[in-house]
Amino acid sequence: MTDNHIVLPVITHLFTAVVLIFFWKKTRISRIISVVANSILVISSFVLFTRTWNAGVFTMQAGNWPAPFGITFVADVFSSTMVLLTSLSGMAVSMYSAVGVSKARMKFGYFPLLHFLLMGLNGAFLTGDIFNLYVWFEIIIISSFVLMTLGGRKPQIEGGIKYVAANLMASVIFLTGIAILYGLTGSLNMADLSRKVALIPNRHLINITALLFLVGFGIKSAVFPLFLWLPSSYHTPPSAIAAVFGGLLTKVGVYALLRVFTLIFVPDDFIAFTLMAVATATLLTGAFGAIIQKDIRRILSYLIVCHVGYMVAGLGLFTETALTGSLFYLIHDIMVKTNLFLVSGLIYKIKGTIKLEQAGSLYAAYPKLSLLMALVLFSMVGVPPLSGFWPKIYLFQAAFAAHSYTVIGAIIVASFFTLYITAKLWAEVFWKDAPTGVARHSDLYNRMNHYGKALLVTPVILLAIVTLYIGLGAENIARVSVHIAQELMDPSPYINAVLGEVVLEP
């Protein structure tokens, strides 16, 4: 079905960003516009989600050029779920930024950049054209470059270099893959590519091209061994920015992997083996990396790496159950990781440090807030019935069915280490007595007025409620995941919606 409203999430962010540029120095108005725009987006993306859920795949042909000649935008349940999750995170981050980000940063265009970043994310989720996906990736990285280095403190700049170099490299490799794919098929439309790539007899050439895409997206989604840029840069920007990065930027890489490796390159034995090996190594290195860190944000950075492994493992197993696990984890992970970085920002506001040895006694000072944070932490670990528990069941089931015992082992080890790290965080930050001898830090959170406190805590509560729903209403989320997994396993409705029922002869 053709429906031009599906690009609304992109257009709204673009419009908001442009309006915000006109209020460059007026921080108060900027904050209000940003929060209002994000609320509108939450509603409109929820509408988009219910419509795709009920009616199937919607498409839009840019400039009314028929596919595969023009640029196509496609909203299936997968895309619209991702857009909905982006809007929820965007909403939370925008509220949190209203007090969590310094005025100086706001005056240098923080809010317009945030909206450009969210626009790029929504565009990447909605596009049905591989080169257009590249362009959206570039929009995402250039706004994230500026957001990461905004402020220009020494660690930020140093982290920024690694981030910029790795991401530019990823873009070039992705572009090389696109060039070869275009040379092979003469098409850029993903649905059209799906048909044409399947007809090419030289499978080795296809596998090499697929590997280029795997490396390009792998750098962006921070899988082993391409993740090293992430832990050395994600701890540097302010928490609100790190929350968008941690929650969404690596996940757009995972989205691209899931999309491209189910629609265009259907994994054969070689690709499936590579994906599983990569996933196993990612799970283990992420977990081992996280246990030696002594800084909350660095721990979280390594946990992002570790948990990307679950999603890639599901893709490598490539059965409907496995993909259901991946998608469930993706939905859960976006909410929880965004929230955890917001929580780390709250801890920083209260204690003035995010180093484990200097923090402590948070539970004694703020029992209610601590319990809220504990809920988020335990959701990440997946203590039943919280949200991280359910996707692992699907992954286990799929891995047992495929007799991939290495993957099962890696999942168990990674989950165990995540539990250990969470316990360590809880003990060090919340329970232990605050160490003496450290310079006393004035509690910035306590000195805020009620309005400021509310703006900091509400987004955390909001995301925690969504996480609780993912855990307690797992049945519904599982239904969505199963639906998306079926879409990915059998892409013919997607292809037919884009190209029409007629099979084009190559």
Looking at the Cβ atoms of 134 and 348, the one nearer to another protein is 134
Looking at the Cβ atoms of 47 and 169, the one nearer to another protein is 169
d(CA 39, CA 505): 46
Q: Are 444 and 371 in contact (CB under 8 A)?
A: no
Minimum distance, C-beta of residue 289 to another protein, in the bound complex (Å): 12
Minimum distance, C-beta of residue 138 to another protein, in the bound complex (Å): 5
Which residues ranging from 146 to 165 are in contact with another protein (CB under 8 A)?
Answer: 146, 149, 152, 154-155, 157-162, 164-165
Minimum distance, C-beta of residue 506 to another protein, in the bound complex (Å): 15
Q: Are 188 and 68 in contact (CB under 8 A)?
A: yes
Looking at the Cβ atoms of 187 and 280, the one nearer to another protein is 187
d(CA 447, CA 357): 24
Task: By CB under 8 A, name the one of 23, 53, 108, 131 that touches another protein.
Answer: 131
d(CA 95, CA 168): 31
CA 425 from chain center: how many Å? 23
Instruction: Verify binding: residue 142, another protein, rule CB under 8 A.
Output: yes
Looking at the Cβ atoms of 127 and 339, the one nearer to another protein is 127
Q: Are 463 and 452 in contact (CB under 8 A)?
A: no
Q: Between the CA of residue 374 and those of 245, 321, 346, 379, what are the distances in Å?
A: 22, 30, 13, 8
Minimum distance, C-beta of residue 23 to another protein, in the bound complex (Å): 24
- The secondary structure of 228-256, three-state, reads CCCCCCCCCCCHHHHHHHHHHHHHHHHHH
Closest CA to 305 of 389, 387, 227, 417: 227
Task: By CB under 8 A, name the one of 138, 355, 361, 448 that touches another protein.
Answer: 138
- Classify residue 51 by burial, with Cβ atoms within 10 Å: 0-12, 13-18, 19+: middle
What 3-state class would DSSP assign to 361?
A: coil
Looking at the Cβ atoms of 90 and 289, the one nearer to another protein is 289
Tell me the site size for another protein, rule CB under 8 A. 34
Which residues ranging from 183 to 202 are in contact with another protein (CB under 8 A)?
Answer: 183, 186, 188
Which residues ranging from 215 to 244 are in contact with another protein (CB under 8 A)?
Answer: 232
Looking at the Cβ atoms of 76 and 129, the one nearer to another protein is 129
Tell me the longest C-alpha to C-alpha distance in the chain: 76
Query: 355 pairs with which residues across the strands?
Result: 295
Site string for another protein, 165-184 (x = CB under 8 A): x--xx-xx--xx-xxx-xx-
Task: By CB under 8 A, name the one of 53, 108, 145, 396 that touches another protein.
Answer: 145
Residue with tokens 């957001």: 147
Minimum distance, C-beta of residue 84 to another protein, in the bound complex (Å): 28
Residues at the interface with another protein (CB under 8 A): 131, 134-135, 138, 141-142, 145-146, 149, 152, 154-155, 157-162, 164-165, 168-169, 171-172, 175-176, 178-180, 182-183, 186, 188, 232
